[in-house]
Amino acid sequence: MSSEIKQTGNWFVRSQTELVILTGGAKNSPIVQKDTQPSVMMLVGYKF
């Protein structure tokens, strides 16, 4: 899921969340510690 909010002028704020659930061979791999992998990102940007 992601969203973008335009601020004043060329500035914007973007956020993204993601949840990956491993299945099959990836889930059973000996190097995998958890079968769910959440991630969150937030950034502030300026468009030229």
Q: Which residue has the tokens 């909010």?
A: 5
Q: What is the pLDDT, as a whole number, of residue 42? A: 93
Q: What is the pLDDT, as a whole number, of residue 41? A: 93
Q: Read off the pTM.
A: 0.57
CA 1 to chain centre: 8
42: nearest Cα among 7, 13, 6, 18: 13
19: nearest Cα among 4, 42, 1: 1
Q: What is the pLDDT, as a whole number, of residue 43? A: 92
Distance CA 9, CA 1 (A): 25
Residues of the chain with pLDDT under 70: none
